[in-house]
Structures are given as structure tokens and as C-alpha cells.
Structure 1
């Protein structure tokens, strides 16, 4: 009887972590389709709404590095419950927001909660399950993480049409209440046995670097910052990044050890993750806007059009292993990064008169290429890490993934603003705005193709490749 009760508790723990992951990935994508409706409600231009997406991703990027230490210090149960509570409070605040500033601040609160859901949940599963069952357990947890991006854009578009955009946040509240109850009942309270001192000064330097660079890029597109302010912020960000590197070299227990970068596969994979994700992170923001503002689609129709992307993305995971085993990571990533850039640029060829079947095929091909990119990038980054560096290496990669998404949206918004001024199209929805999107898409496609040069630095591993793991990617928001 005791064994049956223990088995039931561990199964319910998996469901709890899986639902938390689902909430986090759903809210990474559900907002994109609703941005034009939000803009109308708040009296803003649709092309100035990127702060709603950037704030969430950037909040996650800044909190992720501290989640492991917080869980070890205060216990997994307490931190997971705090994560759900912050996520719920942020969701309620988003629904109650009356201005873009209020909504952006609420998304920051929501992102702080979302940042802790997956890392703390994954840490709990790691400690609750024996090594031989961990892969099976994490595979179960990863499934809702793949379903979230699948239904997010469609659900967001549907809710906007049948109710209002506020409901894309309100639907989180009953799920969060159940989550808090389940956490108190089924979440084990694991703590770290040998807790090191948290590298607070290093953490502050990293946060300053991320915020300064992101605000500088976002300031070009939405905040209307003067060029001198943008340059000053960029310089502050680079100085903070250099300061962290010097600090990490002389600190016994830095947040992220410089020894991580002694592995060629890790440093190349991490840099590739950052720059290639700028293109991938921009597309979930750009495509719904393109469909609604330039092509005349309704929110529900724009959300439905994202389904082929997500379905092809999930289907591609079945063949990635065989492709990498045959060709090796270097060839796959160089060729696939160029293909990804070409697919992004190909969306500039869209016109309102094109048949629907052609758009569906284009979306599906983009989803397959994007999925190949994510899976190969993630695995080549982590495959050579030793156990001592696995935890910090994975946390740094997760931070870079979210930072890449944030930068992608900021770059896309800046390009839309720039081309809008150059072409004199303005923010008014209609076919006249198509040229603005075309300029942004081609530019982002070229930038993505340029990042293939990073993956060219990988060693040629065709003869002895490591099969990529089917790891859940919080950044894969299609």
C-alpha cells in the first residue's frame, strides 16, 4: 500500500511539473496573436507593442541564473509555490492593466514567476527519480512544453475574438490555484546539502549587461531614445559584461565559471544559440502582425496559420538524430542556419492574393527547419559538459535562449520602426504596410544566415557524432 501511494505521489509530481512547464510555454506564445487587439484597447500602435513580449522574456533571462541557488537555499516546494504565485499575480495584473506601461510591468512580474517553474521543477524531478528513470520522467514533463506553443497562438486568437484579450491572462488563475494546492500536497521539499555563497556581485553585473543592451535595442523601436542614450546604454552593457568576465576569473565560485568556455562545442554552441535565436525569436512576433496588419487576417485566422509551424516542428524531432548521425553537427548547423535565414526572408514574398495552401506549406517548412536548428544547437552546446559543469552550463544556456528571444523581438521592432520611417508607411494596418514587413524580414533573414559562420568553427564530427537528445526548449515558441 505504501509503495502504491509513493508511486501515485511521484506520478502526480510529474503532472504538477508538466502543468507548470505548460503554463510557462503557453504564455510565451499566446500573447503574440493578441498584440493588435491589445494595441487597439490601450490606444497604442500595433508596431510598438513589442515591450509586452520583450519584458516577459527578459524577466525570465534575468531570474533563471538564480533559480538553482534559491531552490537549494529555501527548498524546492517553497520556491515552486512562489513561482506559481508570482505567475498568477502577474497574470491578474496583466488582465487589469489599462496602459502599455502597466501591462509591461505586469509581464515582468509574470516572467519572474515563469522563470522559476521549469528549472525548479526539473531539479525536483532530478532528485525525486533515480538516474535510470530520469529520462523517462523528463520526457513526460516535456510533452506539455511542446503542446503549449502548438495551441498558444490559436487559443490567443480565438479568445480575442470570442471574448477579449484579457482572457489570455485570466485563464491562468484557476490553473494556478490548483497548482498551489498540488504543490503543498505533492511537491517534495529538497534542499542543497552543500550550499555555496551566491555570487551576488556577478549576478548584478550580468543583469545590468542584459538590461542595458536590451533596453538600448528596444529604445530604437519603441522608447524613442536619442542616439546618444542608446550608445551610452550599449557601452554600459558591454562594460558590465567585461566586468563580469574579469570578476569570474578571480572569484572562487562565480555564477558561471569561465572554464565552461574551454570546451569548443560549448562556446560555439552558446554563441550560435544567441545569434541564431535572434531570427527565430523574431518570427513568432512578426508573423501574427504580418498576417493581421498587412494580409487582413482575423486574430483567430492568424493563430490557426501558426499550427503548421508547430506540427512540423514536433514531427521534425523524429528525424533529427538520423540526420546528425549521418552528416555531423557542423554540416547540419551551417547548412540549416542558412536555410533558416532563407526561410525567414521568404516570408517577404507573401502577398494577400497567394493561395492558402502555399502559405501552409511555407509555414510547415519553416517549422521543420526551425525545429532542426533548436534541437541541434541545444545538443551540441551541452553534449561535452562534464557532471561538475552540467548544472551551471544548462542554466547559462537557458538564460541565453531567453535573451536571444528578447533580442529577436527588439531587433524586429526596431527594424519595423526604421522601415516605417523610411517608406513613410506609418502604423496604419493595410497592404501599404507590407513593404515595412518585407524590409524587416529580409534583414533578419540575412542576419540569421550570417550566424552560420559561428557554427563553421565546430570540429568536423561526421565519424563520431553524438545523437541529439530530445530536450524541451523553452525558447521554441512558434
Structure 2
């Protein structure tokens, strides 16, 4: 039997690296679907808004509702994998995500689209974190950077092809097809996972922290929805204040709760580990800025510059090409310079490049525009690889599922805040202008400046890392720590 033979393959030895690559490619199939979907919808936002007769900024709800669902359900992904088996949860997640994609394509109103995106988010919440957990439990620490790079290369094909595919479909067909293309990808991922991924589970899964899940889910959900609903009359100011206040209260109560229980849903004690804390806090600041890019850039190119979705996609895809090129060089770069150096100087450079996008004009040469997008994609990807890897530098095997869930929640929360923050800048500036138009080029300029400063602020966190942080991951000789 084919399955019997693959099930007998050892997963805990460095010598079975081809097996790791195989698992990484299967997990990346799911990541490809998720990233393709994210970049496709960002390119199609103006067209979807026009078809549904909605304000383009209101479509941020379609993006943040997905991220909201991720943030709410990701915390239980590690527990679910330990309890029911990684392959079981991974395959079920692919089915749910694909079903959500089909429903998105049939949506006729903004509330229907938001609901379908929430279903997609439920699948995505289990799909990628559980897949990453399988990979993390299958590699030695010294091979972690290489394994994560293998995982990210196919996944980056989504952002590379997404803007082009989304722009082409939206311009020449209909935006609904951008969701339906997930169906064959989902079927392929489900089939490969059932054949090749071992159903890894813990012998004794920790009990589910139900009270923690309720507090954390309500807190994150209300906080993200409050951010997403701000501005343009989407939600009343009183409702926003209540959502934000109640969300903050629930999260505060969760912090108190987590200190009293033996197995909290999200283990806040992980923040006592310097490398993990830097990845969470610094990485969140960096992602708040970068997370605004799929929202700001297509709007600027299509509404500000008058490009079609296809033209916009042909411009923005180049940044993902830069990210793809970086993955082949991440390991040697980190071995040469170390994590601390990269996280400080690469983040600064990435923030400067991000800010420069706000100074694009209709007369900016296309070569200059695409060169900056290519460079930005390269250096942002290097920063993300470093941030993702350093999180697990000092995490032992028993806490890996907790760390994976924690990191994934922080990632999705920061991306949600990034979109809301960027939209808030555009909306806020429009109140001070006679025409009240949030989509002027001057507003986009200040929007990119604002998110660039947020990303740059992460440097103050990464500076606290010791000089030898992540030395084992980069296979560099350890040196004496420095503050």
C-alpha cells in the first residue's frame, strides 16, 4: 500500500530532508491558495465595490473579516492538531476554506461577502498554522531557516501570480471567478495531504481552555471589528467605542485568566523568552505597516492613477518576484550577518522603501516604480523570514504548538490593524479637505509615510536582541551576548 510505505518514513531525522521538502510543498499548496486569494481580492477591490454598489473603503470589511476569523480561531489550531491529528485538521481546513471561496463567488451583497470571508477565515485559521506545526516538528533546529524557506517559496507564487490573475480576471471576465479558482487548488492540496502527511498528534493532548477561548475570541473579534468599522459611516462612533472598549476588557480579563490556569489557550509566559518576545512585538509593528500595502497600493494605482485592475496587477506583482528571489539567499545572508543585524538594518531599509511608494505620481517612470517594488519585496521577505524563524529559536518541542498559535494570532491581528490604520489615515485626511475625497494622491502619500513610520518603529524592539540571537538557527558560532 502506498500510504503504508509513506507512513513508515521517519520524520524526525535530518537525513530525511527530501521528506521535509515534500511536506513543505504540500503545506505550501495551502499557503499558495491563501496568499493567492489575499492578493487577488486586493487587486479586485475597486471592481467588487462598484459591482456591489459600495464605497471602496467599505470593502476593507471583506479583508478584515477574514483576518478577524483567523485571529479568533487560530488559538485553538494547535490544540485541535494535538487532539485530533494534524492531517485530519489540515484536510478539514482545506475543505472549509474551499467552501468559503465558493460562497464568496456567489455573494451578491457586502454582508454576504463578509460572511463568506469569515468561513474562509475559519479554514485558513487551521490550514496554514497546522501545516507549519507539522513542519516545525519534523526538522532539526539548525535546518529551520532552510525548511521555512522551502515552505515559503511555493507559497510566494500566490502573491506573484495573484495580482496578474486577479487583474486579468477582473478586467476581462468577472471578479467572482477570482474565488472559484481556489476549488481545483483545494482539491489538489486535500489529495496530497491525505497521501503524504502523517497524522501527527500528542499522546496526551492538553485540555482546551474554554474560558480562555471565549475571552480571547470575543476580545480579538470585537477589537478587530471595531478597527474595521471605523470611518465613512460604516459603524456609529458609539458602537466603535463600545466594541473597542469591550474587546480591550475581554483581553485584559484573559491576561488575568491566563496567569491562573495550568494550560492557557495562549501562553503569555512565552513572552519571557527574549527571541520570541522580539518576534511577536517587533514583528507586529513591522507587519502593521507592511499589512497596509495590499490595501493602499491597488487603490492608489487604480483610483489615483486610473489604471485598470490588470494594469495594476502587472505593476504590483513584481514585489512578489523580489520576495521569491530572496528565498534562495536567506540562509547564507543570515549566516553571514546574523539575525540581529538583519532585523535592525533590513527593517529600516524596508520601511524607507515602503514610504517611497507614497511619492509615486502618474509621471513616475515605470522602471523606477517597478524597481522600488522589486527591492521592497526582496527586503521585506528577508525581514519576514528572520522574524518568523527567530520566534522558534529558543522554543522547546512541548511548547511548539502554543508558540505557533501565539505567533499566528499576533500576525493576523497586526495585519488587521495595518489595513484599518491605513484606511483611517485616508479617511481622517479627507475630513480636512473641501472636496472630502480620501483618494487624492496627497492622502496616499501621507498614508504611506504613516505606515512606514510604524514599520520602522520595530527597530527599537529588535535592538534589544543579544548579538548571538538565533545563532543555532543560522549555524553561526555563538558570541558573547550584548544588550
Matched, 1:451 2:458: yes
Cα displacement (A) at 1:7: 8.4
TM-score (norm 2): 0.87
1:425–1:436 CA contact under 8 A, matched in 2: no
TM-score (norm 1): 0.87
Q: Encode CA deviations 1:150-207: one digit per residue, 9 max, x unaligned.
A: 1111111111122110000111223334444555555544443102210111122222
Aligned partners of 1:213 and 1:171: how far apart in 2?
32
Moved more, 131-140 or 103-112: 131-140
Cα displacement (A) at 1:87: 1.1
C-alpha change, 1:78 and 1:394, in structure 2 (3 Å) is: closer
- 3-state SS in 2 of match to 1:30: helix
C-alpha change, 1:2 and 1:61, in structure 2 (3 Å) is: closer
Matched, 1:253 2:284: no
Aligned partners of 2:64 and 2:35: how far apart in 1?
15
2:208 to 198, 203, 207: 198
Cα displacement (A) at 1:289: 1.0
Moved more, 144-153 or 34-43: 144-153
* Equivalent position of 1:374 in the other structure: 384
Cα displacement (A) at 1:406: 1.3
Aligned partners of 2:141 and 2:381: how far apart in 1?
27
2:110 to 86, 100, 112: 100
- 3-state SS in 1 of match to 2:262: coil
Aligned partners of 1:324 and 1:261: how far apart in 2?
23
Aligned partners of 1:350 and 1:366: how far apart in 2?
14
The 5-angstrom pairing of residues 44-443 of structure 1 reads 44-124=54-134, 140-181=150-191, 188-222=198-232, 224-426=234-436, 433-443=440-450
- 3-state SS in 2 of match to 1:98: coil
Q: Encode CA deviations 1:109-161: one digit per residue, 9 max, x unaligned.
A: 0111122222333445567x686999687665443212111111111111112
Moved more, 225-234 or 306-315: 225-234
Q: Encode CA deviations 1:393-431: one digit per residue, 9 max, x unaligned.
A: 1221112111111111111111111122222444597xx
* Equivalent position of 2:48 in the other structure: 38
Q: CA RMSD in A?
A: 3.0
1:125–1:134 CA contact under 8 A, matched in 2: no
C-alpha change, 1:267 and 1:112, in structure 2 (3 Å) is: same
C-alpha change, 1:247 and 1:306, in structure 2 (3 Å) is: same
Cα displacement (A) at 1:33: 0.4
C-alpha change, 1:16 and 1:452, in structure 2 (3 Å) is: closer
C-alpha change, 1:28 and 1:468, in structure 2 (3 Å) is: farther
C-alpha change, 1:133 and 1:180, in structure 2 (3 Å) is: farther
Count of residue correspondences? 464
C-alpha change, 1:419 and 1:195, in structure 2 (3 Å) is: same
Q: Gapped runs of 5+ residues in structure 2?
A: 10-18, 476-483
1:379–1:468 CA contact under 8 A, matched in 2: no
Cα displacement (A) at 1:305: 1.0
- 3-state SS in 2 of match to 1:305: helix
- 3-state SS in 2 of match to 1:145: helix
Aligned partners of 2:389 and 2:29: how far apart in 1?
24
